[in-house]
A and B are shown apart, each in its own frame.
Chain A
Amino acid sequence: DIQLTQSPSFLSASVGDRVTITCRASQGINSYLAWYQQKPGKAPKLLIYLASILQSGVPSRFSGSESGTEFTLTISSLQPEDFATYYCQQLNSYPSFGPGTKVDIK
């Protein structure tokens, strides 16, 4: 099974900050990585798929990149509505999710 780790587990940031979340896969996943945002009591929302492709309707301040088995979600300028938990997911084999990164207000 492919394992995903995320770092940090929690981060405290201010509006306007640049935020970076890292996801590492235990083996190669051929760019089959997606990022989701989840707010309390709500279903997850797709942000990025295939490591770097922005889902339609998602603000351009969100971006994704990859280097080998390390993937990064970047929010260029954090907005009030971005405070949430972020999950990475691999779909190269049976789907699995990372443990999540909670982004909180500083």
Chain B
Amino acid sequence: EVQLVESGGGLVKPGGSLRLSCAASGFSFINAWVSWVRQAPGKGLEWVGRVKSKAVGGTTDYAAPVKGRFTVSRDDSKNTLYLQLNSLKTEDTAVYYCTVEVGNPSFDYWGQGTLVTVSS
């Protein structure tokens, strides 16, 4: 059974930092492209960033609103995905989901999400 379990969310002040983790199991993590997607309260889905598999270079891509502030990384030895959030703004408040592409161009599996609240 595929499982993605996020952790690390919480309340942080504007300008602060946070690191989210996503533990994966039940599929070949090393071959998957993994992304973070967020959803602000009452709003739609927004792709945040991704890291490709090492087989295609392990490169990262980011959405414009987070580029330069957020960093996506992976540890294939631990089947874990990370999202480092720096210089947080109130508009970064959202539920953050990790999600994976395991062969088809689609986000096949999703975690349950972790809430990040940026407020003074």
Contact = CB atoms under 8 A, between A and B. Distances in A.
Interface of A: 1, 32, 34, 36, 38, 43-46, 49-50, 53, 55, 87, 89, 91, 94-100
A32 B105 CA distance: 7
B35 interface: yes
B47 A94 contact: yes
Contacts of B63: 94
Given A95-B35, A95-B50, A46 B106 contact: yes
A50 B107 contact: no
Contacts, number: 56
B82 interface: no
A91 B105 contact: yes
Interface residues of B, number: 21
A94 B36 CA distance: 12
Given A43-B110, A43-B112, A50 B105 contact: yes
A95 B110 contact: no
B1 interface: no
Given A44-B107, A46-B107, A97-B37, 4 more contacts: A36-B45, A44-B110, A49-B104, A55-B106
B46 interface: yes
Interface string B70-105: 000000000000000000000000000100010011
